[in-house]
Amino acid sequence: MVAIVTDSNSGITQKEAKELGCTVIPMPFLINEEEYFEEINLSQNEFYKKLLMGAGVSTSQPNIFNIVELWKNLLNEFDEIVHIPMSSGLSASTETAISHAKEFNGKVQVVDNHRISVTQRQSVLDALKLAKEGKSAKEIKDWLEETSYDSSIYIMLTTLKYLKKGGRITPAAAALGTLLKIKPVLQIQGGKLDKFCQVLSYSQGKKKMIEQIIKDFEQRFKQFEEKGKMKIFIAYTYLEDKALEFKEEVDKAFEKYNIEVELVSSLPLSIACHIGDGAIALACCRYY
């Protein structure tokens, strides 16, 4: 038997993890230097209340020794483990896990999946399905890494404030962006966060993201789309009503592909720390 482990950057809640039959490691984040874990000692509503009141927020890595103890406990019940952390391009936690997994003589397979959020979640679902089919931990890891680049995320931010706090843009660029009401649209492909474009309105940003996902369907992922092996997701921070409105637009745009949005999901707080409230993302990926 193979156990599937991931972290809360996947957006899988503790309740969902129990229903799915996987284990989710809660990612720590700091508010005014005090450590919190989503759903454990802070709700999403409480987080955004603090955020909107100007609290300082940041993230940190989970304690690797706690993860190693988790692996040891799981191996009392399971033969092997597949561990699916967030992309190595966004955090050092993958490399740290790979290093410590060497102590387990191949029983713990850490996947460098190059994904985060809804696409990371799909990797977990794929791993669970492969495990049910009797695949070994190594076989599951190999498939997830082979398909890891078959995904795209485009995310529009309503503020540059948190990117500025994280040192990802200069204070001068953030001030100019705020003055001009510029909304950046970022992309994640292959696990790295890059600038995609900048827009002047929320509606323009939504249009750009839809156009780019359609382009990805018709170019990068054409062979998978033709086989019916692509999914579309929407993720957001704080403003669910806007995400649901966006879903209607996306469903209409993808009618010709006979595909609807698979999931509208609130982004985990460990991600919200970096992008703030009011962000919205459109993603797609290949699935098993």
State the DSSP H helix or E strand holding residue 140, giving kind and residue range, or none if neither: helix 137-146
Q: What is the pLDDT of residue 186?
A: 85
For residue 251, give both structure tokens. 């469903």
From the list 279, 272, 253, the residue with the least C-alpha distance to 49 is 272
Give the chain's mean pLDDT. Answer: 90
Q: What is the pLDDT of residue 280?
A: 95
Higher pLDDT, 70 or 258: 70
pTM of the entire predicted model: 0.91
Q: What is the pLDDT of residue 232?
A: 97
Question: What mean pLDDT is predicted for residues 100-106?
Answer: 93
Q: What is the pLDDT of residue 191?
A: 65
From the list 42, 16, 153, 165, the residue with the least C-alpha distance to 90 is 153
Report whether 173 contacts 160 (CB < 8 A): yes
- Would you say residue 196 has pLDDT above 80? yes
Question: What mean pLDDT is predicted for residues 70-95?
Answer: 91
**CB-neighbour burial class of residue 278 (10 A; exposed 0-12, middle 13-18, buried 19+):** middle
From the list 218, 199, 278, 284, the residue with the least C-alpha distance to 250 is 284
- Would you say residue 142 has pLDDT above 80? yes
For residue 187, give both structure tokens. 């992309």
Q: What is the pLDDT of residue 185?
A: 87
For residue 16, give both structure tokens. 């969902």
Q: What is the pLDDT of residue 270?
A: 87
What percent of the chain clears pLDDT 90, i.e. is strictly above it? Answer: 71
Domains, in order of start, for the chain: 2-27+62-146 (3.40.50.10440), 151-286 (3.30.1180.10)
pLDDT in tens, 264-281: 999 999 889 888 899 999
pLDDT in tens, 221-253: 999 999 999 999 999 999 899 999 999 999 999
* Residues listed for the chain: 288
For residue 249, give both structure tokens. 């637009």
- Would you say residue 12 has pLDDT above 60? yes
pLDDT in tens, 164-191: 665 555 555 555 455 556 788 888 887 6
